[in-house]
Structure 1
Amino acid sequence: MSRFVAGKRFLGRGTMSTIPGRFDVRIVEADDCSKAEAIPDTEVRYEYAKTVISSNQSPDIPFRLSVNPYRGCEHGCIYCFARPTHAYLDLSPGLDFETRLTAKINAPEVFEAELRHPDYQCQPIAIGMNTDAYQPIEKELKITQRLLKIAYEYKQPVSLITKSSLILRDLELLQLMASEHLVHTAISLTTLDNDLSRRLEPRAVSGAVRLKTIRALREKNIPVTVMIAPMIPFINDHELEVLIQASVDAGAERVGYVMLRLPHEVAPLFEDWLQLHFPQRAERVLNHIRSMRGGQLYNGQFGKRMTGEGVYADLIRQRFHLARRKARLDVRDLNILDCSRFQLPPRSGEQMILF
């Protein structure tokens, strides 16, 4: 059930819906829409995590271990597949997801303890795969920066994906890590249309700024992949070839794409967003999404959830591969991250410091 109010929106937020999570037993009614709208403030609460390294067995993603320093994301991307995770916190995957954030304030300390655990076996760790590790609150809290410093000290290889130029704050550290094959970065690129960007991802930087970020990373020999995501029928799919060429021109070594995913509460939120911003083409967009998902708005089946299936999905796939060839992008699998350097630096009080 959506709390969407037709024709109304909060400036700077991806949604004004307080849609309940799928586990919620309470329904919160929206205030009278005739009242003046105020932009909701961002609230950050601190969490003391017991563990931070999580694992997955998904064959669709190129990493098994990950660390997520934040829950929720202020970027407010309406399409974010992580929105449903707020339901586990008894919060709305709608407006709460982008305004009521959680910071794992002790994440660096727990991360280090887990790296030092006798049973830990080094393998690449992805940082910020669920919600952006460089979202705006990172500028003050610096949890991601502290995680990277520990990773470098232990020679623990990591990968990062972000749509934020804040990653350039850590450029010197990333350059050091890259020189030892300890880091890989990825930039998420959705559109070069500033108006569409403000609607889709209201608190994220523009596509042009992301291209500048790619250039800045590559100038320091930091490996960069661009993920063109998500591809949305009749919203940004016409930009596919332009986005690929612009990414390669900016220095991207690899390019990938992901079709729009609408798990759980993301589906009604996205439907509301379409009715608000693109009412005349909403049904056309939704029908093409269903054509890729077996008649539904989402199919979470491994092997299909990232790319979809059917005529339209095949067309996007063909266009992607053709555009990548035209851009003369080397599609070899680059061996970027090196786990052989992993080490446990001595700590005060340990016998090793005597040698």
Structure 2
Amino acid sequence: MKTQVAIIGGGPAGLLLSQLLDLEGIESVVLERRSKDYVLGRIRAGVLEAGTVRVLTEAGVGDRLAREGLPHDGFEISWFDERLRLDLTGLTGKPVTVYGQTEVTRDLYAAREARGGAVIDEAEVKRIEGIDTDAPTVVYEKDGKEHRLDCRFVAGCDGFHGPARKAIPESHRRDFTRDYPFGWLGLLSRTPPAAHELIYATHEQGLALCSMRSEEVSRYYVQVPMTEKVEDWPAERFWEELKSRLPSDVAAGLQTEGEVLEMSIAPLRSFVTEPMRHGSLFLAGDAAHIVPPTGAKGLNLAVSDVHYLHRALTRFFNEGTSEGIDSYSGTALARVWKTERFSWWMTSMLHVFPEIDDFGRRMQKAEFDRLTGSETARRDLAENYVGLPF
């Protein structure tokens, strides 16, 4: 089989890249090692930046998002006994939109199917050959048989554990990592949200977050040590712990009678690999970087990568210039590192760190006090939260 761009990974980044390239008349094949049902069953983030909404709309998958997405003009930080609302729209002129990543992926699958896009599920990539040449090949296994996909470029949209990043020789890349000493225990429930906007609540026991997927489905998190196990957390224990960390009026109104749809523990990590291109191989999304979920940036950062990459590939195929692909890594990484900084900063301010000393705790409080006392500080947070331009 032959195509212009082989895309490894059938999550939102890979599907979006395929859709955008198709609209420019560029052929691609998406290889996803899991089944479509598995991909659509994954529970992920649901806060979309204004730029992400714009790109999804340009890709032709914005109709249901426009109908069902929930625009949020702000969010609240509860710092022990103090509370602060960040007026995102008032400070930046832009809201964020709550719309689950699963729904984004569902819309993209439907769009690719409607246009006859080639998406091969349950295709496990075994190796990537020839990335130092102009004719790389992706070797994958499907139904017990080995297949070869010849192409001009390979886009690795296959996540942190995928084969794309590992195909770049260690001598040609550098990884930057910070692992945090805690995780987020998340519960997805068929219950009305605790509030009409997100609430980040810092408590002596750790962070709690009240989020949502719709007016009927809520997503809650509590910070836990990484030694905790989901099976030790029945729903009743989770609800009680969540209530203990929330402001009393929010806890009193919290509705807990409803179906628990999913529970899991996610580790927190900051990670960047450089460069995001080697020869004919490009990295995008979690294959190139991971952010802690505190700033709601993972999916949004992947969309900005795809935006830059599809424009670069379009210029190469349709205009005959390599300028975009040559600058892709530097352009994407400039935004990646700014977003990593913001996600690290929010994580550092709002969580309880087991090893932190009295000086560190005072610094966290000073960060919060700076927000409460300075519109400039609030605007800086808001500009990063609604998304840096791309």
Normalised by the size of structure 1, how large is the TM-score?
0.23
More strand by percentage: 2
More helix by percentage: 2
Normalised by the size of structure 2, how large is the TM-score?
0.21
Which of the pair has the greater relative contact order for Cα pairs under 8 Å at 6+ separation?
2
